[in-house]
Structure 1
Amino acid sequence: MILDIHAHIIPGVDDGASNISEALGLLKMLKTQGVDAVIATPHFYADTLNLDEYTQRVSQSFAVLKQAAQTQGLPELFLGYEVFYFNNMSNSDELKKLCINQSRYILIELPYADINDRILNDIYNIQSNQGLIPIIAHIERYSKFRGFEDLLRLIVNSDIEAQINADAVLGGPFKRISIKLILNEMCSYIASDAHSVSKRPPMIAEAYKKIEKKFGPEATRPFYRHGENLYRQLGQPVPV
């Protein structure tokens, strides 16, 4: 199966789909591309958003979208968040509210700056202190910053996972590092990070086809495997 773990398709809650029509349009595109299930991941910024108010608003909009998607036979939907890193994240009592469908997995966006030891230790402690599994969103975007190699070592030596955006595989400034990470099996997921039908559409099918054409079908097998593993764990509550 193909699981898209990163998509901004809940209408009216962030910079993604502006309304339910566009959200359903994105889901139709994902279905056409062979995606079986999608994790909706609106942005969460701890510095500017009230967690309880925001998650309530997101949940309400998500419920409407999920019902409409089921009626139209579109990919299965799960709720998560793309959580922008904040200081002392590993000590927050609220992180479990932001996990993917009440599982142990949490999608984290890092600051677009040098990655220092404080951040690396904090990310590691999310795993060791809270028993959660961080997934680093669009890891290719951090490759130009100091500390990127340290981030990769942390991923290799822990249960922390990484995700690459599909459009990065197809071209642009992060194509080379994306291919390198894929060939070295240093990322677990290719995701759409879809925001809109016209400006930032999903490109998962194109990315899979390009990888398989150039490197063979074995190059994408890890993404199917990791997606199926995560899918099986969705809905399994985080241990208290």
Structure 2
Amino acid sequence: MFFDIHSHVLHKVDDGAKNLKESINLLKMMYSQGITHVLATPHFYPQIDTLDGFLEKVGKNFQELQKECQTQKVPNIYKGSEVFYYSGISKASGLEKLTLGGSDYILIEPNFNKLGVGFQKELLYFRDTLKITPIIAHLERYRKVKGYKNLLKFIKQNNILVQVNASSFLSFRHYFAIKKLVKMNIITFIGTDTHSIEHRPPQLSEALQIIEKRFGAEYKEKLICNSNEFLQKITQKGN
């Protein structure tokens, strides 16, 4: 059993699955890799998308996908979003509608130009004031961005949750960034961040093999356990 907390399998919403058929094919591929539950987390860009328009489109397409999944051998699917960060986002209204599976957790995509103190303060505001726990999406991508080293220290000191992409464990380009995150023990979740079969397909099974080989079976099991424990938080909400 494995719960993938980051994917773009929902069709016709963002740069993920282009149609319902591709959504199903992606889900079948994920199921073959041992993924039994998955969060559909389409991109939400607060300065471009309207909240109501986004939720309406996601809701409609999610119902279509759920209906089609009933006749297929695919993972159970839950509704969420990947929210792009901008300065002041923590004061925006309606954020609770963008959480993961109706839980008190939200997946935040960092802005390459805003990794500094302002971003850090808003992460704490999410968690401590709004009581919505932020999860930083694919942290390893920002390894060359100004402020990254200080962000890592902040994450470690404040126990901020972090998701990294399965594909990054297979990438030489990301290897040293991943190795550092493992050494610092700040990775909470591994997610596929799958977009399509051709572009960023799910690579969980290969990633787990590499994780066990390079970082040990115990570390691999820890990541699996973290995701599956998070599934319990989702299902307890009745979503």
TM-score between the two structures when normalised by the length of structure 1: 0.94
Change (3 A) 1:41 1:157: same
Aligned partner of 1:24 in structure 2 is: 24
Q: Is the 8 A contact 1:9 1:23 kept in 2?
A: yes
The yes-or-no answer on 1:7 pairing with 2:7 is yes
- 1:83-162 matched pairs, under 5 angstroms: 83-113=83-113, 115-162=115-162
Residues 138 and 163, structure 2, Cα contact 8 Å, conserved in 1: yes
Point out where structure 1 has 5 or more consecutive residues left out of the alignment: none
Answer whether contact 1:7 1:192 (CA < 8 A) is retained.
Answer: yes
Separation in structure 2 between the aligned mates of residue 158 and residue 52 of structure 1, nearest angstrom: 33
Cα-to-partner distance string for 1:60-83 (whole Å, 9 max, x where unaligned): 101111222232121010111010
TM-fit CA distance, 1:145? 1.4
In the alignment, structure 1 residue 181 sits paired with structure 2 residue 181: yes
Say how many residue pairs are matched: 237
Task: Give, in whole Å, the separation in 1 of the partners of 2:91 and 2:141.
Answer: 26
Misfit runs of 4+, over 6 Å? none
Report if the CA contact (8 A) 1:183-1:219 is conserved: no
Structure 1's 218 and 232: CA in aligned 2 closer, same or farther, altered over 3 A?
same
Partners of 2:89 and 2:236 lie apart in 1 by: 22
Moved more, 25-34 or 144-153: 144-153
1:81 aligns with 2:81: yes
Q: Which runs of 5+ in 2 are unaligned?
A: none
Letter of the structure 2 residue corresponding to residue 14 of structure 1 = D
Given that residues 212 and 220 in structure 1 are in contact (C-alpha distance below 8 angstroms), is that contact kept between their aligned partners in structure 2? yes
Is residue 116–residue 147 contact of structure 1 (8 Å, CA) maintained in 2? yes
* Counterparts of 1:207 and 1:183, CA distance in 2: 17
Residue in structure 1 matched with residue 196 of structure 2 by the alignment: 196
| Greater CA drift, 45-54 or 145-154 | 145-154
- Following TM superposition, by how much is the alpha carbon of 1:114 offset from its aligned partner in structure 2, in angstroms? 5.1
Distance (whole Å) between structure 2 residues aligned to residue 67 and residue 157 of structure 1? 44
For 2:134 and 2:114, the matched residues in 1 are separated by: 19
Distance change >3 Å, CA 230–CA 65, structure 1 → 2: same
Q: TM-score, normalised by structure 2?
A: 0.94
In angstroms, what is the RMSD of aligned CA positions? Answer: 1.4
Q: Which residue of 2 aligns with 1:37?
A: 37
Letter in 1 for 2:52: D
Q: Report the equivalent of 1:165.
A: 165
Bigger CA drift: 125-134 or 68-77?
A: 68-77
The one-character-per-residue Cα deviations of 1:115-169 (angstroms, maximum 9, x if unpaired) are 2111111111111110011010000011111221222223223342101111111
Counterpart Cα distance in 2 of 1:3 and 1:150: 30
Q: Which residue identity does 1:150 align to in structure 2?
A: N
Q: Write the letter of the residue equivalent to 2:211.
A: I
CA contact (8 A) 1:212 1:219 kept: yes
Q: 1:209: how far off?
A: 0.5
Deviation at 1:231, TM superposition (A): 0.4
Q: Partner of 1:17: helix, strand, or coil?
A: coil
Superposition deviation, residue 173 in structure 1: 1.8
Instruction: Tell me, yes or no, if the aligned pair for 2:188 and 2:223 is still in contact at 8 Å.
Output: yes
